[in-house]
Amino acid sequence: MKSNLEVENLIVEKDKEVGKEMAKLGNKIEIRDLSMYYDSFKVLENITMSIPCRSIVALIGPSGCGKSSLLRCINRMNDLIPNSKVEGEILLDGENIYNPSCEVIELRRRVGMVFQKPNPFPKSVYDNVSFGPQVMGIDNKKEMDEIVEASLKKAALWDEVKDKLRTSALSLSGGQQQRLCIARALAVQPEVILFDEPCSALDPVATQKIEDLLIELKENYTIVIVTHNMQQAARISDITAFLLMEVQGEPGRLIEYSDTNKIFTNPSDYRTERYITGRFG
């Protein structure tokens, strides 16, 4: 199993076309014919895409086309919105997460999320990171210390906060807060992490740090990221999905889904090209 994944990774890095073919065997997430509604308003229609293990998939598209809605389908955060409805299926390791038998709590542990605006709890740095594991029932102090330290290290924040683990998370800078949120998500050891425009509230230096971090995290996690920043999508993602709501009031559709290289150098759809070259949205 493990060697299989390693091989898969190598190939994804070496040759993306072949990698994609291979990856189909080991897709972490498969979205099939997904449509989504808020009340009677259809936001997304017939979205189908496969997200390979240990890759970064970027969702791009103009504002309001349903990127966040799609992202939030993957960990069922849309359940919180009354009257939202989903049709079709999303398979996580082959299991449909919209099956009645799916445990939403378990699902959200496996599929973490980092939001647009850094949203640390008004608690200490330590308590923010330990929140998830503690909810999962870890109460051994030493074990918890290790998890907190490891998570903060993975999020490249440890050196900056190791002396102020007990101070309020709200006293950190925006970029630090966002990395803290990433550490908090990592602490429950998810398999997939969803990012909804994680850098939109950050300056270029903080953005750079997060991007480096994402590329590092790819080694172990499957990442889906919504971004408005074309360069960012081009820099960090392996696959790019272009969503578009062609007419206001109509649902958003998946226009193109292919290798990031291809999307940015030789898109097959004229609408993708127009969007990327900045002619609308």
Partner 1 sequence: MKATRVDRIATFFFWILGMISVGILFIIVGEIFARGLFIALKPSFFLGKPEAMKEGGGILPMIVSSIYLAVLTLLISLPLSLGAAIYLAEYSRGGKITRFIRFCADSLSSLPSIVFGLFGLAIFVVRLGWGYCLISGAFTLALLNLPTLMRSAEESLKSVPKTYREASLSLGASRWTTVRQVVVPSSLPGIITGTVLSIGRIMGESAALIFTTGTFIRKIPLNPFQTAAPLAVNIWYTQSEALVPDYRNIVNGGAAFLLLMVLVVNLVARYIGKFYRRRKGLS
Ligand X SMILES: Nc1ncnc2c1ncn2[C@@H]1O[C@H](COP(=O)(O)OP(=O)(O)OP(=O)(O)O)[C@@H](O)[C@H]1O
For 26-182, where are the E strands, in sequence order? 27-38, 41-52, 56-60, 84-92, 95-96, 111-114
Neighbour-count burial of 247, counting CB atoms closer than 10 A to its CB (0-12 exposed, 13-18 middle, 19+ buried): exposed
Q: Any contact of residue 227 with Mg ion (CB under 5 A)? A: no
Measured from the CB atom, the residue of 129 and 214 that comes closer to Mg ion is 214
CA 153 to chain centre: 20
Residue in the block written with tokens 């997430």? 29
Measured from the CB atom, the residue of 169 and 243 that comes closer to partner 1 is 169
CA distances for 74 relative to 107, 188, 272, angstroms: 9, 17, 24
Q: Please, what is the minimum distance in Å from the beta carbon of residue 112 to partner 1? A: 6
Q: Please, what is the minimum distance in Å from the beta carbon of residue 103 to partner 1? A: 10
Binding window for ligand X (CB under 6 A); candidates: 50-58, 61-69, 85-93, 154-162: 61-69
Q: Any contact of residue 250 with ligand X (CB under 6 A)? A: no
Binders of ligand X in range 26-55 (CB under 6 A) = 38, 43
Which partner, partner 1, Mg ion, ligand X, none, binds residue 185 by CB below 5 to 8 Å per kind?
partner 1
Longest dimension (CA), the chain: 57
- Under 8 Å CB-to-CB from 252, ≥6 apart: which residues? 43, 44, 45, 61, 65, 66, 67, 69, 70, 243, 244, 245
Instruction: Tell me the three state secondary structure of residue 247.
Output: coil
Q: Please, what is the minimum distance in Å from the beta carbon of residue 235 to ligand X? A: 19
Q: Any contact of residue 81 with ligand X (CB under 6 A)? A: yes
Binders of Mg ion in range 249-278 (CB under 5 A) = none
Q: Any contact of residue 65 with ligand X (CB under 6 A)? A: yes
Size of the site for ligand X (CB under 6 A): 10
Which partner, partner 1, Mg ion, ligand X, none, binds residue 22 by CB below 5 to 8 Å per kind?
none
Binders of Mg ion in range 45-84 (CB under 5 A) = 68
Which partner, partner 1, ligand X, Mg ion, none, binds residue 66 by CB below 5 to 8 Å per kind?
ligand X
From CA 216, how far away is CA 261, in angstroms rounded? 19
Neighbour-count burial of 224, counting CB atoms closer than 10 A to its CB (0-12 exposed, 13-18 middle, 19+ buried): buried
Cβ atoms 90, 51 nearer than 8 A: no
Q: Which of 4, 64, 99, 268 binds ligand X (CB under 6 A)?
A: 64
Size of the site for Mg ion (CB under 5 A): 1
* DSSP codes, 178-231: HHHHHHHHHTT--SEEEEESTTTTS-HHHHHHHHHHHHHHTTT-EEEEE-S-HH
Which partner, partner 1, Mg ion, ligand X, none, binds residue 135 by CB below 5 to 8 Å per kind?
partner 1
Measured from the CB atom, the residue of 40 and 101 that comes closer to ligand X is 40
Give me the residues that bind partner 1 (CB under 8 A), please.
Answer: 75, 77, 80, 82, 105-106, 108-109, 112-113, 115, 117, 119-123, 131-132, 135-136, 167-171, 181, 184-185, 188
Cβ atoms 256, 263 nearer than 8 A: yes
Can you give the binding site for ligand X, defined by CB under 6 A? 38, 43, 63-69, 81
Can you give the binding site for Mg ion, defined by CB under 5 A? 68
